[in-house]
Amino acid sequence: MPTISVRSSAGAYDVVCEPRSLARVPSLIRRLGDSTGAFVVSSPRVWRHWGKTLAKILGAPAKKPILFDDSESAKRLSTIESIARQLVRAGADRRAIVIAIGGGVVGDVAGFAAATYSRGVRLVHIPTTVVAQVDSAIGGKTGVDLPEGKNLVGAFYPPRLVVADPVFLSTLPHREFRSGLYEVIKYGVIADRRVFEFLARHMDAILRRDPASLGYIIPRCAAIKAHVVSKDEREAGLRQILNFGHTFGHALETATNYRRFLHGEAIAWGMIAATLLALAADRLDERSANRIIRLVLSVGPLPPLSGIRTIELKRVTASDKKAHAGRVRWVLPPRIGACKWGIELPWSLAARAFAELPLIAASNGR
């Protein structure tokens, strides 16, 4: 499935998900129609590895890129203002195209800048990380963080094109590569038992970045994401399954001021907590819960949970954008390959699940 189609309120767009697709970007962008210029938004880290290559392929737009720090702490409204002002100085108008080249933070920030600059300009994603290629670049979610919580300011703004070339994954630091795999596990748990079983059998090869293994999981997960967001663009129902592990994961990121965990690492702990919660609520059998937890832990060590108080997590989860009137609605798996959303449970059950996480940490060598 080299090209995956995604339906959106702004029209269908393609996710091109195959090796050597980067070289096709200029011709794919030309298919989007006339523009007054393309403007690249990326990060210094990406540019150190890929700047020369991108300049050769993209030409003028990549010779004067707009670069910003792609750490989670840079997902702020001040960064949006900085990008917008640079677009003004570069001469971007309403017929411009913004090309976001980077991981999830670059996509979220550049996407929100595109959604708001001149009330919206065309957006192209070229994701360079696992999490961006299988998840964040697809579906049109953009946004930035507030001190009170993650992604609290943003917009649904679908791109016009996504080009996910696995060549970018060759230069990812190993910790970042592993972090992206937790989102891949998420898809196996919530939607596709075959993906889950493949991960369980081939995790060693995947961690070695075996091309054949990546060639299976990345298009498959991208196709799952495309199917879900095509059916529910605005997260009114089905799309909520994509938040498996994210309620608690986002709370961990917020409680530690986005400095301890990479996004996927926080989601990993969130998936373990949600699995324990499903088990405690008699919504998941013990064997399946153990298999999910073992698969998450098989990716590698996670940052510790020391010093994070349950009372703080309760406060943060209550203010999460997915909560309703302060009531947390959980996303839980009834079995591997399926998921339920909108589940309200007593906080005492959640607290019990959180209390068990240090035991998981101990088994993980922490």
Contacting residues for 174 by C-beta, under 8 A, at least 6 apart: none
Instruction: Decide if 202 is catalytic.
Output: no
Spatial distance between the Cα atoms of 98 and 118, rounded to a whole number of angstroms: 12
- Active-site residue, from 160, 243, 253, 322: 243
Cβ neighbourhood burial of 48 (10 Å; 0-12, 13-18, 19+): exposed
- Active-site residue, from 45, 160, 178, 225: 225
Tokens of 351: 């607290």
- Active-site residue, from 45, 75, 250, 322: 250
- Active-site residue, from 72, 176, 183, 265: 183
- Active-site residue, from 45, 122, 141, 220: 141
Instruction: Decide if 141 is catalytic.
Output: yes
- Active-site residue, from 72, 176, 233, 235: 235
- Active-site residue, from 122, 160, 178, 263: 263
- Active-site residue, from 178, 239, 253, 322: 239
Q: Are 206 and 214 in contact (CB under 8 A)?
A: yes
Instruction: Decide if 263 is catalytic.
Output: yes
- Active-site residue, from 20, 89, 119, 324: 119
Q: Are 295 and 203 in contact (CB under 8 A)?
A: yes
Cα dihedral sign, 85-91-92-94: positive
- Three-class secondary structure of residue 169 per DSSP: helix
Spatial distance between the Cα atoms of 39 and 183, rounded to a whole number of angstroms: 29
- Three-class secondary structure of residue 146 per DSSP: strand
Phi then psi for residue 208, to 5 deg, are -85, 0
Instruction: Decide if 235 is catalytic.
Output: yes
Instruction: Decide if 227 is catalytic.
Output: no
Q: Are 198 and 336 in contact (CB under 8 A)?
A: no
Active site residues: 119, 141, 183, 225, 235, 239, 243, 246, 250, 263
